[in-house]
Structure 1
Amino acid sequence: MMSGLLRGAAAGAAGTTALNTVTYADMAWRGRPASDVPQSVVERLSEAAGRPVPNGDGRRGNRLAGLGALSGIAVGTGVGAALGALRAAGVRMPVWAGGALAGALAMAATDAPVARLGVSDPRSWSAGDWISDAVPHLVYGLVAYALLDALDR
């Protein structure tokens, strides 16, 4: 099981790199700004935990941006580890199905807190917003699951 978790974490890290690559390429192509959603989620979570991010030196925004990016890496690696554990337990799917499921899980793991914390309401998103969110997560899932599949051989 430990081997499955480690393989999955590595696959999740590779998937996260692919997701970030697609996201940054989209930003460069369309000239769109970075999303402030990750740092808003971190801000709300830290306040709810009673541990707000400090601002003593006026760098709170930078800290939130860094923590937001790190939280995305943690989610991607964690979802990958869960997928690795499932594979170690014998759950096997074709890469296209496992990749789609992995992408959906990663997307749910990021969008559910966004909605629950009131940072954004996915019900109000445009088709373009959904595509900008779904495509990188699908790429994440395909890369992560394909790597897991390759590591099993």
Structure 2
Amino acid sequence: MTVRTRALEGLAAGAVGTTALNAVTYLDMAVRGRAASEAPQEAVETLADRAGVSVPGDHDERDNRIAGLGPLLGLGTGLAVGLGIGVLTAAVKAPAGRAGACIVALGAAAAALAASDAPMAALGISDPREWEPADWAADIVPHLAYGAATAAVLLTLRRARR
């Protein structure tokens, strides 16, 4: 199978994983009554400032653009991690069965967690060392859902191709 096919499978798996992450996040917000994180919008503003680019529009239009761009960063992260996992799992043979599925799921979850949290820390937007247990849970649980969904789709596509 070509790298291109593996990459496309990874993109599809990453899209499903991102949907699972968002669903778990929104469910947590609804159950606990907590607000959405402002970190993605802060990332857009910080990146734009550092790049010397201004987000166009009057106050409301600019805020709306930033509100739209923030979640797109997360979507891009989920797709990129899925693509990477798709290519990586083609190169590295994971054990078969449940053990292999768990390895792929945990690897995808860890990669997505690192790919989202490390840039936020590097930009000075968030410091995980200062998080409370509830903050960690609100971050880890959706990323575990990402990993499980990504692995399930990726491995299902691979089995279907055989």
The bucket for the TM-score relative to the shorter chain is over 0.9
Is it true that 1:104 corresponds to 2:110 in the alignment?
Answer: yes
Deviation at 1:57, TM superposition (A): 5.6
Which of 72, 75, 80 is equivalent to 1:73?
A: 75
Higher mean C-alpha displacement, 42-51 vs 77-86: 42-51
Higher mean C-alpha displacement, 45-54 vs 131-140: 45-54
Which of 10, 22, 25 is equivalent to 2:24?
A: 22
Deviation at 1:127, TM superposition (A): 0.6
User: Contact between 2:113 and 2:140, CA under 8 Å: does it hold in 1?
Assistant: yes
Q: Which amino acid aligns with 1:89?
A: A
Is it true that 1:127 corresponds to 2:129 in the alignment?
Answer: no
Cα distance in 2 for residues equivalent to 1:90 and 1:108: 20
Which of 101, 115, 119 is equivalent to 1:113?
A: 119
Cα distance in 1 for residues equivalent to 2:68 and 2:10: 24
Q: Percent identity?
A: 50
The equivalent of 1:84 in structure 2 is 86
For the aligned residue pairs, the C-alpha RMSD in angstroms reads 1.1
User: What are the ranges of 5 or more consecutive residues in structure 1 without an aligned counterpart?
Assistant: none
The equivalent of 2:8 in structure 1 is 6
Deviation at 1:134, TM superposition (A): 0.3
TM-score when normalising by structure 1: 0.95
TM-score when normalising by structure 2: 0.90
**Where does 1:42-81 land on structure 2 (aligned, <5 Å)?**
42-56=44-58, 58-81=60-83
User: What are the ranges of 5 or more consecutive residues in structure 2 without an aligned counterpart?
Assistant: none
